[in-house]
Amino acid sequence: MVGEPQPESPNVSQRYAGKQLHVPGAGTMGISLLVGSLSILFLSSLIGYICYWYSFPRSITVHLPWGLWLSTAVLIFSSFTIHWAWLAIRNDLQRSTRIALLATLILGIAFLGLQCWNWAEIYGALQSADQALKALHPQYVSPIGGMRMAHALIYEKQALFAAFYFFTVLHAMHVVGGLIPLGVVNAKARQNVYSRNYHPGIRYCLIYWHFLDAAWILILITLLVTFK
Amino acid sequence: MTTVTGSNFGDTPVVPAKPDNYLTHGKTISSWLLTLDHKRIGIMYLITALLAFFIGGMLAEVIRTQLLVPQGLVFHGTGSVASSYAAYRYYNQVFTLHGIIMVFLVLIPIIPGALGNFALPLLLGAKDVAFPKLNLISFYLYVAGAVLAIVSTVLGAVDTGWTFYTPFSIQTESYVVVMVLGIFLVGFSSIFTGINFMVTIHKLRPPGMTWFRMPLFLWSIYATSLIQVAATPVVGITFVLLMMERVMGIGIFNPALGGNPVLFQEFFWFYSHPAVYIMILPAMGIVSEIIPVFSRKHIFGYEFIALSSLAIALIGFLVWGHHIFVNGQSAELDAVFSFLTFIVAVPSAIKVWNWLATMYKGAIVLKTPMLYALSFIVLFTIGGLTGVVLGALSEDVVLHDTYFVVGHFHYVMMGGTLIGFIAGLHYWWPKMFGRMYNERIAQWTCVILFIGINLTFFPQLMVGADGMPRRYASYLPMYQPYMIVSTIGAYIQLVAFLSMASYLMHSLFYGKKAPVNPWGAASLDWETSSPPPHDNFETTPSVGDPYDYADLVFDSGINGYVRTEKPADSPIPVTARH
């Protein structure tokens, strides 16, 4: 056999083209499995928290910061912009793709900024709740590190704030984990790497971004139900 | 794909170059540490996991030595209760580390990580897994987790038991957070491996290999990956919550803060029971590969073995409650979990039955891999049936937390997973390193190991039925005879493992060159040279029935099997088919 071998089928020739594999559909399946696995992670933690919350006396009122609504709006909007980027590249609109991807990146960073503001807000609420409890129970000491207080009110307050931080930080870490590849995809889009037929990076970011959105909405609903 | 170029037909004589294989493909250290070659990653997993196994095994010997005498031989006080208490704390650390190392660093990753990585693309006739970089990341996450485990051990070894039950794991002063973080990383390594293997099996099957023409090892790896992807995040988040308990005082598992320790157990076992199937399913896959090869007979009931792997994976998600029978679960729920536990025994029994039917009237060759596969069937059956005993609700109430449980899961883990792994290691060893080991010594080692395992763990079943609790550093003198036999068994195992280590090391350097197909297997991994070249196959191998041995004949010249053209008019021998 001299010269170029005839490929048996497109799949096989691509698979044996070299050590660097490009297997059609593998990336999408991989990212979908990863998103499925991470969804189980979020769902199980939410279920655990709801089981715990169920035993609360539910006598404490902590208001969620209104900035949460703002950050929710920003995240949902970014889900639309990345979908726009995906539609644009499928029609080979390079300029629109670049703009939409950049918008998604900026909105993602803005979401993180807003979450930082929310954490500061809820920290303030934590301080005032501590003050209120101190006035009610003079023997009460700070809960951080000290686990020996007995009053149900105190642990309910502690658990609510901890849950708020736990879920929002867990989600924010996943946002950070999405922004890094999104930055890479942005840079690649500026170099016109993607086309109508080849845009795996955008598709993976799209799937992941919709997952971030869905996870956030579930978290928000849980927080709304458990905080009054 | 290689093509013969014109220059080879010229006048200059062609100097036969030393054949390049994956072991010699790059010689620098970075060509190993940064490799994307699934075979090298497999070897690195093998070395790391065997190191972990050595440490865990030595801790096991310490445990058995401690239990030689009722008051403890290694850790014992100077007479006062307080001094005994202080000394026995070290025993808690030893059995905890033994458990953590063996479960998270050896049993879970060793077969998928080492043998799966090595053999899976070869069995598919592929060049590599679907995501080679992710594969390397998985390996380093595993190493990072192992390093954190060492760090936590140096700082202050964990003494909670490998289950990290709350509230003690919240209160103990040992470095639970570091250890749990390490296991979290190992968990993500496991998830990534699972994703990688699932996508590989979906997308890289060669043309002609339909789902029901895959080797059974692939089915078992697929079922394992399914569990890894779906169950591991649960233990990941459980351990994150446990860390938050210790750092922030969330209270979710802490009764002092209104939390529920049984919730931790539910979460923990929701992963850790399916994790048992992460450990055992790949071993079953290996046995399903070995038994037909060494019986020279087509596997019996292929579809049943394949689908029973999936059945085990799915039903395995529904039985976690049997760990919590006596911990305050409602009686109704107990009954449901007990019933489901009986159900999960059915697919395992289907497998065992099909293996026996494969061997029936086969021409059985008692080579080392086959001896280990047979040991697997015996030991796993004992382990599995004692599991059904424990799954029976009324019996579990009596036997819970006794040595019967210890005996049961060591039969499954040691006699099942580890023996399955060793069977696979001996089966693929010629392919991995291109060398044969000393068959006679290997066979005797298998016999010694089999005796050692039974001597160690059978008395534990008996002493447990007599009522001796697990995890105790000291015990009543009435149990001593059992404990002595058990310890002797553990030392016999040590001898067997040392023998195995020495003949395998010897074979690496002085072993006979392995032929392409020493066992006469028909799957694609034996179509390439031993050891395989960097790219696995020079051309796409053609896919046939992986269990059809009719056209493989032994060639004494090369000491291995070669494929012959099947005469068109001669019928396939009856024994080659089921």
Interface of B with A in 212-271 (CB under 8 A): 229-234, 236-238, 240-241, 244, 248-252, 254, 256-260, 263, 267, 270
Interface of A with B in 24-43 (CB under 8 A): 24-26, 29-30, 33-34, 36-38, 40-42
Q: How much is the pLDDT for B573?
A: 47
Chain B CB contacts of A9 below 8 Å? 207
Split at pLDDT 50, 70, 90, the class of B445 is very high
Chain B CB contacts of A37 below 8 Å? 191, 195, 229-230, 232-233
Instruction: Supply B494's token pair.
Output: 């040590």
State whether B260 and A40 contact (CB < 8 Å): no
Number of helices and strands in chain A (H, E): 6, 0
Most confident range, picked from A216-220, B82-86, B170-174: A216-220
- C-alpha to C-alpha distance for A196 and B175, rounded to whole angstroms: 53
Instruction: Supply B132's token pair.
Output: 């080679």
Residue A185 lies in a domain: yes
* A219 close to A167: Cβ distance less than 8 angstroms: yes
What is the average per-residue pLDDT within B518-543? 89
* A2 close to B6: Cβ distance less than 8 angstroms: yes
Q: How much is the pLDDT for B259?
A: 84
Residue A6 lies in a domain: no
Instruction: Say if residue A212's pLDDT is above 90.
Output: yes
Split at pLDDT 50, 70, 90, the class of A155 is confident
Residue A37 lies in a domain: no
Q: How much is the pLDDT for B16?
A: 52
Residue A190 lies in a domain: yes
pLDDT digits (tens, 9 = 90+) for B47-75: 999 999 999 999 999 999 999 999 999 99
Compute, in degrees rounded to 10, the torsion defined by CA atoms B96, B100, B103, B107: -120
* A162 close to A81: Cβ distance less than 8 angstroms: no
Q: Which residue has the higher pLDDT, A131 or B88?
A: B88
- C-alpha to C-alpha distance for B209 and B542, rounded to whole angstroms: 9
Q: How much is the pLDDT for A14?
A: 43
What is the average per-residue pLDDT within B460-482? 94
Q: How much is the pLDDT for A119?
A: 93
Q: What is the CATH number of the domain that holds A109?
A: 1.20.120.80
Query: Backbone phi, then psi, for B144, in 5-degree steps?
Result: -60, -40
Residue A47 lies in a domain: no
State whether A144 and B230 contact (CB < 8 Å): no
Instruction: Say if residue B511's pLDDT is above 90.
Output: yes
Looking at this predicted complex, what is its ipTM? 0.88
What is the average per-residue pLDDT within B134-153? 95
Number of separate domains in chain A:
1
What is the average per-residue pLDDT within B391-396? 91
Q: How much is the pLDDT for B217?
A: 96
Residue A148 lies in a domain: yes
Instruction: Say if residue B419's pLDDT is above 70.
Output: yes
Least confident of A62-71, B184-193, B216-225: A62-71
DSSP B247-303: HH---TT-GGGT--HHHHHHHHHHHHHHHHHHHHHHHHHHHHHHHHHHHTSPPS-HH
Q: How much is the pLDDT for B8?
A: 43
pLDDT digits (tens, 9 = 90+) for A67-93: 999 999 999 999 999 999 999 999 999
How far, in Å, are B34, B128, B370 from residue B134 at the CA level? Answer: 12, 12, 34
Share of chain B above pLDDT 90, in %: 77
Chain B CB contacts of A177 below 8 Å? none
Enclosing H/E stretch for A61: none
Q: Which residues pair with B513 in a beta bridge?
A: B435
Q: Which residue has the higher pLDDT, B417 or B255?
A: B417
pLDDT digits (tens, 9 = 90+) for B103-130: 999 999 999 999 999 999 999 999 899 9
Looking at residue A189, its amino acid is A
Domain boundaries, chain B: 32-576
Mean pLDDT of chain A: 83
Mean pLDDT of chain B: 91
Fold of the domain built from segment(s) B32-576? Cytochrome C Oxidase; Chain A (1.20.210)
DSSP B307-358: HHHHHHHHHGGG-GGGGSTTTT--HHHHHHHHHHHHHHHHHHHHHHHHHHHH
* B543 close to B125: Cβ distance less than 8 angstroms: yes
Split at pLDDT 50, 70, 90, the class of B97 is very high
Best of B1, B226, B320 to disrupt the A interface by mutation (most A CBs within 10 Å)?
Answer: B1
What is the average per-residue pLDDT within B196-207? 93
Instruction: Say if residue B575's pLDDT is above 80.
Output: no
What is the average per-residue pLDDT within B239-253? 87
Residue A15 touches chain B, beta carbons under 8 Å: yes
d(CA A158, nearest CA chain B) in Å:
7
Instruction: Say if residue A1's pLDDT is above 60.
Output: no
| Domain residue limits at A205 | 68-226
What is the average per-residue pLDDT within B192-198? 96
State whether B258 and A33 contact (CB < 8 Å): no
